[in-house]
Amino acid sequence: MDFSNKVVVITGASSGIGEASAIEFSKRKSSVVLVARRKENLVSVAKNLTKYGNEVLVCQCDVSEWQEVEQMSRTVLDKFGKIDVLVNNAGFAIYGSVLELKVEEIESQMETNYFGMVYAIKAFLPSKRSFSCRKFWPSRHCIVLRIKICYAWILRGFVSRIKRNWYRYYCS
């Protein structure tokens, strides 16, 4: 697929898989939006991307906070006028059995890993006239949803709801 001149928003871009994705999209001539909480890390990732010559936008944002995600989406759409790919990557793992984990830890993981994903989709969806979903890597022009095994089923329900509503709003 040709990613040149696409606008790619990557959550969790301050390290790890998100940072690596930003490099790969930059090599493919996309404009990338780097989203995460640690601004200094984002700025450092952005500096490393300048050598590819594409536009890079840093957005400090906690994806578990709806207002911050909404503001981030407005900033992106104001600057680029569109989004082509959303890589919902922000998240973290906590290890331990349900018995051992505190309720606050479980809630905090859901707030970032699940609601962060839902908020980003909700914020950008009105700007899209068509969309498709891929588990890990897009095979065509699309919104990418990160689906971890434990979230796959609840997310499947969410996505099928979006598809039904999509038809009602845009195709009828």
Ligand X SMILES: NC(=O)c1ccc[n+]([C@@H]2O[C@H](COP(=O)([O-])OP(=O)(O)OC[C@H]3O[C@@H](n4cnc5c(N)ncnc54)[C@H](OP(=O)(O)O)[C@@H]3O)[C@@H](O)[C@H]2O)c1
List interacting residues with ligand X (CB under 6 A). 11-18, 36-38, 41, 62-64, 89-93, 112-113, 116, 148
**Least distance from ligand X to the Cβ atom of residue 108, Å:** 9
Phi then psi dihedrals of residue 86, to 5 deg: -115, 115
Q: Residue 94, CB half-sphere, CA atoms under 13 Å: how many? A: 16
Minimum CB distance to ligand X smaller for 66 or for 80: 66
CB-based contact 4:29 (threshold 8 Å): yes
Phi-psi category of residue 155: left, alpha or beta, with phi > 0 → left and psi -120 to 50 → alpha: alpha
Who contacts 119 (Cβ-Cβ below 8 Å, separation ≥6)?
63, 64, 66, 69, 70
**Least distance from ligand X to the Cβ atom of residue 43, Å:** 11
Minimum CB distance to ligand X smaller for 23 or for 166: 23
**Least distance from ligand X to the Cβ atom of residue 2, Å:** 26
**Least distance from ligand X to the Cβ atom of residue 36, Å:** 4
Minimum CB distance to ligand X smaller for 20 or for 159: 20
Minimum CB distance to ligand X smaller for 29 or for 41: 41
